[in-house]
Structure 1
């Protein structure tokens, strides 16, 4: 399974890092956690060290223990490795935000009213 970082976009209201995504729900939830961490960093909610630690923790402590097949876990680990390299290269919040925005428009915040219409 391939997880392309170019699918990540800026999220102006990312879910909580600690209690946001449920990794057991799907591999895509694990992948989108990268977007959450990078968006939190770009917004100034966390510092650089926290972002790196969060990515490393998911990569080294959580992903290997998930019940997904080997190929999926390897793909997720590669994506997290790429994200760590990207963050190390870009470093500044502004450049991270620019990179996320270069992949497409920001994630749209869905209101409860909009959600109930669908």
Structure 2
């Protein structure tokens, strides 16, 4: 059996080791171990990395769309609130889980761990 691409497995929310088990337990909480292969996922910590990338990507997309709409159509402010507030929320929530999976998979594939001096 060949090993899966860990980054694609992380993008799908699957174990970076086997590609079968779930990476998450809930929306963003990392599972303690893989259901399929028993790989220890508890040591994973992505920190604030996924949130930073989500802010940059969603901010660029939504701010560009908002500015384009404002310049092209000049709608009232309530249109911006009604359209772009849910759009921004949806883009942020839609990107957060896949990007966290990719960051965790990159951490596992590069054998990165936190440095400790106990």
Looking at CA atoms only, which structure, 1 or 2, has the larger radius of gyration? 2
TM-score of Structure 1 vs Structure 2, range by shorter chain: under 0.3
TM-score, with normalisation over the residues of structure 1?
Answer: 0.27
The one of the two structures with greater contact order (alpha-carbon pairs below 8 A, sep at least 6) is 1
Which structure has the highest helix share of the two?
A: 1
